[in-house]
Amino acid sequence: VGRVSGTPVISSDGNYVYVTHNVDNNNNNKNGGGYFSVLDSVDANIIFQQSCQIKWNSDQKYGPIGIAHNPQQGFYNGGENNNNDMLVWGPYPDNDYTYNLIDGGNIYGF
């Protein structure tokens, strides 16, 4: 439901498609705002979905999603053998507004 923000990304193993998408208010009985969804790559069924969680603006839309495939290094124990993908996205600013991530912006990871 809604418009995809950026380009959907595919998991390293090809089993999942990750997407951020935005819905206008009163569109197909969904609240307006951003959604993060995980789809099965075979039949495109949604297996996980979360709506925008910005407390001061639940209608906030999401920007494009980024992915790091199997980041096998990190500054933590076990990072050298990591086989999980890391996804990151944030709010999509309206009217060329730039968010201050320290003062009131948000960033999400999955």
d(CA 86, CA 90): 14
pLDDT tens for 49-83 read 988 766 555 677 888 999 988 777 666 666 666 77
Residues 62 and 22: beta-carbon distance below 8 Å: yes
pLDDT band of residue 99 (cuts 50, 70, 90) is low
d(CA 49, CA 29): 15
pTM of the model: 0.77
